[in-house]
Chains A and B, each alone.
Chain A
Amino acid sequence: MGLLTNLGRALAIVAVAISVNVTASINPVMAGFPEKPITMVLGSTPGSAPDTLGRIVAERMANVLGQPIVVENKQGANGSIAATQVAQADPDGYTMMLMTAVHSITPTTRNDLKYDFEKDFRGVGMMASVPLLFVVNNDLGTTDMEAFVNRAKAGDIFYSVPGIGGIQHLATEEFSKRAGIQMTVVPYRGGGKATKAVIANEVQLFFAGIPPALPHAKSGALTALGISTPERSPAVPNVPTMIELGYEGLTADNWHALYVRSDTPNEIVKILGDALSEVLQMPETAQLFLNVGATPWIKGPDAQTAFGHSEVKRWRGVIEAAGLTF
């Protein structure tokens, strides 16, 4: 029975998504913004963590706003293709962009961007935090961070990254510098393959975005030694934070936030921001996020904009300190 109602609900939602005009006519109270479907552009492939989180939020924000939100994947070039497109869209709030930490890294690593992250965009609000989980291969036999660092000092350690110049790469470099060790980076294309490499002992460490690594840390196929959150994560409550382990300031959560063009009117940004924060406060949102290893993170439009700027400075510092060149 419950299933049939669920099916009914599901079909109803599809119907709403398809018949945009019908929806508009049965919601005559919704005067003003939004009057037509909103697009949420994101710079990664379907099935990636930003995509999954984005779709959870988009679907619920659509219910709050009374207009469908279409998620559009424009993957490629570390999300720069998507950002370029949004920077050129109309500043009317109908095109939002789901940005992640990488958008605060590329201003330093790329000199060929056709947009300016700090000048062309303003925050609608923070959405989610996806922590990095420090997972090592079991054959290494190191069950705590101290043992791992000692082992790394003694010999060659390879670590995988889902791409050069991503947050996982920079966070690992920052860690190596703090711990006073040298490790060799081995790049893969995507978090899944980077995770497989550490399970198969091709590399020994992956400072992984939590979604691909979590199931393996839970099953015991990998050993989790630390997590990048300021406080312990409910997803892995027994894993200590990097701060607890003595790496003060080494928080490297991959933030996920909604942005629009910087010249979007304040009232529209407020409507979107309020809808976002309403969705993030729903308990079922938190539960769905937790399933992926993420936690809802609320920040208003202005706080988000300021946070984005501070992140650009922070990663620039890390890149310069580690002496990385791109």
Chain B
Amino acid sequence: MDTISNLALGFQVLMTIETLGLCLFGVTVGMLIGVLPGIGSMAAISMLMPLTFYLEPSQALIMLSGIYYGAQYGNSITSILLNVPGTPSSAVTALDGYPLCKQGKAGPAIFITTAASFFGSCFAILCLALFTPVIAELALRFGSIEYFSLMVFGLITASVVAPGSQLKGIAVVLLGLVLGLVGTDITTATFRFTFGYIELTDGITLVAVAMGVFGATEVITNLSRPKHQRAKAQNVGFRELLPTGNDMRQAIKPMVRAAPIGTFLGVLPGAGATISAFVAYGVERRIARDRTRFGKGAIEGIAAPETANNAAAQGSFIPTLSLGIPGDGVMALMLGALLIHGVKPGPQLITENPEIFWGLLASFWVGNLMLVIMNIPMIGLWVRILKIPYRHLFPCILMLVSVGVYSVNNSAFDLMIVFVFTVLGFAMSLTKMSPAPMLLGIVLGVMMEDNLKRAMLLSRGDPMIFLERPISAVLLGLTLVVLLLPLVKMIRGHAKTE
């Protein structure tokens, strides 16, 4: 019953007015930041960093992490209402969230994503509390070879995310993989496809791509339609804000499936929220009885990715705290905050500074609860955005997108990227291609290439290594199963009809 006494210690740390206040402050800032398209938690956290010099380390971490997971709640709101994802990880939510909104179900959709976010977070927190050392050990077993196989699995599973033509979906993924090549070759440090632009040497900024192909493209697509076909201001009554019992029942199973996927991918440094949302969506679509509902407002299509990306956000604390290895930039920033206070993250953190680890864990529960309590009444407010005439709305969207993209690298060049990808996005929308798989391709492309090259260096060029390592072999086996699944279904279908 160690866990219970540890959690008691955690709540003891948390239950002071100042600490709770900082937690509330963190999650509120995070939630608001999350709603704004393009602006990630990174900007907010690095601005508030100097403030933490004057706080206890546990309080500093509670506040900063509140911003991080708070932002995961808000980012699906604009995906659903405006088809403008707040972050790349919520791009998937727009696929079914926006159609739901068009059907007048924006309120229920936001309610479900909030519930899904809460469920995903709770599941991951539970894993944190019970299994952190075990999970950390597992994360260490994942070397370059296992990562590569995992990326193959992720790519194949999620390649069906695009609604409509399968072939177009694959073409778009491939385009994404190609775009992922832009940047610096990891083994030689040579610049590739940068065309002399020094800003491209670290690759194309993902947020800028997402804002181009979703945010700005959506605005232009909308404005290019004849007047009567444009997005119209909607009137939403209060009773339409809550999902029906049927909606909730549809959401539960996807949530249960997506939570472990998200937690697991969150634990692996570098894999993170974006991939987990895609994979969770892909899994739902693969196992669905009626695949055609996806992309037209399937409840599973919003419940699964939102559960997964929140679980991943929470899960990414495991390697950060227990191994001292940050999964992404924001986590690195939080490690920095701990280091400044002389707290060494790593295996000994949980034993040497239990008040930090368990205090943080307790704050996760409370912070998530605060977020749900704040978010549910806010739904009515968010949905009212739809009442604003589009001619007033679109300049705001474009401005927020620009500010958000600029804030990622403090780079005006990234605004040019948005422009280029708006043109591409518009062309894709004319040809009825969904840009979502392209984001996945960009994220996975770099990681797959890096890990493949490392694996080949380590095995001295022997590709059999992918089958010799057990974890890797299992993942490749699963990939094969996913690939053969449609074939099996087809044969069975034939057998039945005959």
A and B associate: yes
A219 touches B348 (CB 8 A): yes
Our pick among A11, A76, A193, A215 for the contact of B269 (Cβ within 8 Å) is A193
Tell whether, in the assembled complex, residue A77 and residue B202 are in contact, meaning their CB atoms are under 8 Å apart: yes
Q: How far is the CA of A45 from the CA of B328 in the complex (A)?
A: 10
B485 within 8 A of A: no
Task: Please measure, in the bound complex, the distance between the C-alpha atom of A71 and the C-alpha atom of B336, giving whole angstroms.
Answer: 15
Q: In the complex the two chains form, is B340's CB within 8 Å of A46's CB? A: no
Q: Judge whether B325 and A164 touch: CB under 8 Å.
A: no
Contact present for A55 and B49 (CB under 8 Å): yes
Closest to B342 in A: A291
A165 to B184, CA, bound (A): 12
Which residues does chain A contribute within 8 Å of B329, judged by CB atoms? Answer: 45-47
A73: contacting residue among B46, B51, B323, B339, CB under 8 A: B46
What residues of chain A lie closer than 8 Å to B331, measured between beta carbons? 47
For B344, give its contact among A114, A186, A215, A288 (CB under 8 Å): A215
Chain A residues lying within 8 Å of B339, measured Cβ to Cβ, are 52, 211, 291-292
On whether the beta carbons of A76 and B409 are closer than 8 Å, the reply is: yes
Q: Contact at A192–B332, with CB atoms within 8 Å?
A: yes
Interface flag for A154 (CB, 8 Å): no
Say yes or no: is A304 at the interface (Cβ < 8 Å to chain B). Answer: no
Which residue of B198, B336, B409 is within 8 Å of A84 (Cβ)? B198
**Chain A contact residues (Cβ within 8 angstroms of B): what range?**
35 or more
CB-based contact A221/B141 at 8 Å:
no
Chain A interface mostly helix, strand, loop or mixed? helix
CB distance from B70 to the nearest CB of A (A): 18
List, in ascending order, chain B residues with CB within 8 A of A51's CB: 336
In the complex, which of the residues B42, B342, B458 contacts A186, with contact meaning CB atoms closer than 8 Å? B458
List, in ascending order, chain B residues with CB within 8 A of A189's CB: 186, 450
Asked if A72 CB lies within 8 Å of chain B CBs, one says: yes
Q: Which residues of B contact A218 (CB under 8 A)?
A: 344, 346, 348
Query: Within 8 Å of chain B (Cβ to Cβ): is A20?
Result: no
B332 CB contacts on chain A under 8 angstroms: 45-48, 192
Q: Of A10, A47, A112, which is within 8 A of B55 by CB?
A: A10
Q: Return B484 CB to nearest CB of chain A, in Å.
A: 31
Closest to A3 in B: B18
Interface string of A214-242 (1 = CB under 8 A from B): 11101101000000000000000000000
Question: Is the beta-carbon distance between B51 and A13 smaller than 8 angstroms?
Answer: yes
Closest to B346 in A: A215
Chain B residues, Cβ within 8 Å of A158: 457-458
Chain B 336-377, CB-CB to A under 8 Å as 1, else 0, gives 100111101111100000000000000000000000000000
Which residues of chain A are near B168, meaning CB under 8 Å?
A: none
Number of interface residues of B (CB under 8 A): 57
* A221, B188: Cα distance in complex, Å: 30
> How many whole Å from B340's CB to the nearest CB in chain A?
6
- How far is the CB of A79 from the nearest CB of chain B, in Å? 11
**A76 nearest CB neighbor, chain B only:** B202
Q: Flag the segment in A195-203, A275-283, A315-323 that touches B.
A: A195-203
* B1 CB → nearest A CB, Å: 27
Quick check: is B79 within 8 A (CB to CB) of the other chain?
no
Cβ-based interface call for B326 (8 A)? yes
Q: Tell me which residues across on chain A come within 8 A of B143, comparing CB atoms.
A: 197, 200, 202
Question: Complex: how many Å from CA A77 to CA B409?
Answer: 13
B290 → chain A, closest Cβ, in Å?
Answer: 41
The residue of chain A having its C-beta at the shortest distance from the C-beta of B189 within the complex is A164
Chain B nearest CB, measured from A82 CB (Å): 10
For A4, the chain B residues whose CB sits under 8 A away are: 18
| Interface contact B187-A164, CB-CB below 8 Å | yes
Q: Which of A163, A195, A197, A291 contacts B340 (CB 8 A)?
A: A291
Asked if B454 is an interface residue, CB under 8 A from chain A, the answer is: yes
Residue contact A196 to B325, C-beta cutoff 8 Å: yes
Say whether, besides A51-B336, A197-B143, A215-B345, A46 and B49 are in contact (CB < 8 Å): yes
Q: Nearest-CB distance from A191 to chain B (Å)?
A: 9
Q: Taking the nearest CB of chain A, how far is it from the CB of B452, in angstroms? A: 13
Which of B196, B334, B346, B457 is A184 in contact with, Cβ under 8 Å?
A: B457
In contact, A216 and B346 (Cβ under 8 angstroms): yes
Contact yes or no, A186 B454, CB < 8 A: yes
Say if the beta carbon of B50 comes within 8 Å of chain A.
Answer: yes
**Bound CA–CA A84/B199 (angstroms):** 11
Asked if B160 lies at the interface with its beta carbon under 8 angstroms from chain A, I say: no
Nearest CB in chain B to that of A5: its residue = B54
Interface status of B193 (Cβ within 8 A of chain A)? no
Residues of B with C-beta under 8 A to A71:
46
Q: Is B333 an interface residue (CB 8 A)?
A: yes
Q: Does A251 have its Cβ within 8 Å of any Cβ on chain B?
A: no
A91 contacts partner chain B, Cβ-Cβ < 8 Å: no
A152 on the B face (CB < 8 A): no
Roughly how many angstroms separate A275 CA and B184 CA in the complex, as a whole number? 38
Q: Does B140 reach chain A (CB closer than 8 Å)?
A: yes
The answer to whether A221 and B347 touch across the interface, beta carbons within 8 angstroms, is: yes
Q: How far is the CB of A157 from chain B (nearest CB, A)?
A: 12
Contact of A47 among B144, B186, B334, B409 (CB under 8 A): B334
* Top 8 A-B pairs, shortest CB-CB distance: A47-B332, A47-B333, A215-B346, A164-B189, A10-B54, A215-B344, A77-B201, A76-B202
Other 9 A-B pairs with CB < 8 A, given A13-B54, A186-B458: A3-B18, A7-B55, A9-B54, A73-B410, A74-B411, A76-B198, A164-B187, A193-B269, A195-B325
Q: What are some 21 contacts across the A-B interface (CB < 8 A)?
A: A6-B55, A13-B50, A47-B329, A72-B410, A74-B409, A75-B202, A76-B198, A76-B409, A77-B201, A80-B201, A164-B189, A189-B450, A193-B270, A197-B143, A200-B141, A200-B143, A202-B454, A216-B347, A221-B346, A291-B341, A326-B190
